[in-house]
Homo-oligomer: A and B are copies of this chain.
Amino acid sequence: MRPVARPVSGHFSVDVMTAWLDAVAHRLGTENADLRNARGQVLAEDIRAARSIPPLDRAALDGFAVRADASLGAGAYNPLELLAVAVAAGDDLPEGMDAVVPVDRTEANSPGRIVVVEPVAPGDNVELQGATAPAGAALVPAGMRLAARHLGMLAQAGLTRLPVIRRPRVRLRLVKPAQPDGWTDSNGPMILAAIERDGGVVDEPIAVGRSQVAIRDALVNVDSDLVLVAGGTGPGIDDHSAAALAEGGELAIHGVALRPGETTGFGRTGDGVPVVLLPGTPAACLWSYELFAGRAIRRLGGRDPGLPYRSREMTVARKIVSAIGMTEICPVRCGAGDAVAPLPSFAETGLMAAVAADGFVIVPEASEGYPQGARVTVYLYEGS
Contacts and interface: CB of A to CB of B under 8 A. Distances in A.
Count copies of this chain in the complex. Answer: 2
Interface string A171-186: 0000001110000111
A87 B144 CA distance: 49
Interface in A22-65: 35-36, 39, 53, 60-63
Given A140-B355, A236-B103, A281-B90, A152 B36 contact: no
A86 B237 contact: yes
A234 B270 CA distance: 64
A217 interface: no
A133 interface: yes
A348 interface: yes
A147 B239 contact: no
Interface string A373-384: 000000001110
B178 A236 contact: no
Given A103-B7, A153-B351, A62 B190 contact: no
Interface stretch (A191-199, A318-326, A334-342): A191-199
A155 B354 contact: no
Given A86-B237, A235-B103, A186 B152 contact: yes
Interface of A: 6-7, 9, 35-36, 39, 53, 60-63, 86-92, 102-104, 127, 131-133, 139-140, 144-153, 155-156, 158, 177-179, 184-194, 196-197, 234-239, 280-282, 285-286, 304, 310, 347-352, 354-355, 381-383
Given A39-B197, A146-B193, A152-B186, 17 more contacts: A36-B189, A61-B234, A62-B235, A62-B237, A102-B235, A103-B236, A132-B351, A132-B352, A133-B349, A139-B352, A147-B382, A152-B189, A152-B190, A155-B188, A156-B282, A158-B184, A310-B310
